[in-house]
């Protein structure tokens, strides 16, 4: 079945550092890909999305590019802030379906 | 829009008791999802509905768990009898059946079974 694998955390960075969180997927067809973010005590919220190969999703300085050849959707941000501290989930929506498969989540700590 | 509403936000109960979690999806959304989140197992899809009809309940852990959606604006997840291993945060999410199908999550219900 479809699956999502993302790098284990926690990831600890200093403010203004560059962030990469790796995500790879296994799926048939052409799934839509997502990054969700979960702040402490809250539900998940959509950060960005991409629906087809080579699409780049972006929001709040975060970016991710849908790479079909490497089945990857890595999350990047050029300069992180303390307020970016959260858990980040990579996810895919199965082709032709409505279930969303979530990765295990990667916790990010940003130090001032 | 008020977003997805869940109640209660926290529930503490004793083993063997019945627990009912409630969810009000965003108006106009025709998909509703129930998830469970634990440190050990991460985020698990329990069941989802389309237009109030259960579509896939393969994630429901056992017969102690049941979910209903009597109308488009209300769903419940019931655990009877509850066990300590049911302790988790339970999320409800909703989405439209068109577009990119992004899901909107509620704030969750933290359940503790002692």
- Token code pair at residue B97: 């059946």
pLDDT > 80? residue B99: no
The per-residue pLDDT for range B56-86, each reduced to its tens digit, is 999 998 899 999 999 999 999 999 999 999 9
Q: What is the pLDDT of residue A94?
A: 83
Please, are residues A107 and A10 in contact by the beta-carbon 8 Å criterion?
yes
> Taking CA atoms, what residue in A is nearest to B31?
A98
The per-residue pLDDT for range A6-15, each reduced to its tens digit, is 988 899 999 9
Residues of chain A contacting B55 with CB distance shorter than 8 Å: 98
Q: What is the pLDDT of residue B1?
A: 64
Nearest-Cα distance to chain B for A62, in Å, is 17
Q: Which residues contact B40 (CB under 8 A, 6 or more apart)?
A: none
Average pLDDT over residues B30-58: 93
Q: Does B107 touch chain A (CB under 8 A)?
A: yes
Q: Which residues contact A42 (CB under 8 A, 6 or more apart)?
A: B107, B108
């Amino acid at each position: 079945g479809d699956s999502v694998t993302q790098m284990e955390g926690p990831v600890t960075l200093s403010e203004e550092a560059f962030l990469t969180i790796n995500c790879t997927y296994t799926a048939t067809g052409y799934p839509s890909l997502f990054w969700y973010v979960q702040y402490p005590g809250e539900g998940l919220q959509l950060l960005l999305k991409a629906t087809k190969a080579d699409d780049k999703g972006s929001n709040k300085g975060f970016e991710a590019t849908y790479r079909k050849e490497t089945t990857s959707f890595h999350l990047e941000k050029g300069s992180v802030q303390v307020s970016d501290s959260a858990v980040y989930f990579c996810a895919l929506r199965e082709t032709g379906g409505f279930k969303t498969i979530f990765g295990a989540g990667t916790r990010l700590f940003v130090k001032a | 829009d008020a977003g997805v509403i869940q109640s209660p936000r926290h529930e503490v109960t004793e083993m063997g008791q019945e627990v009912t979690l409630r969810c009000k999806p965003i108006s106009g959304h025709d998909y509703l999802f129930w998830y469970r989140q634990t440190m050990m197992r991460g985020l698990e899809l329990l069941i989802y509905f389309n237009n109030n009809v259960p579509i896939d309940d393969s994630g429901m852990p056992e017969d102690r768990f049941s979910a209903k959606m009597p109308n488009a604006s209300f769903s419940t997840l019931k655990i009877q009898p509850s066990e300590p291993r049911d302790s988790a945060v339970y999320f409800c999410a909703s989405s439209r059946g068109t577009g990119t199908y992004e899901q909107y999550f509620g704030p969750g219900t933290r359940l503790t079974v002692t």
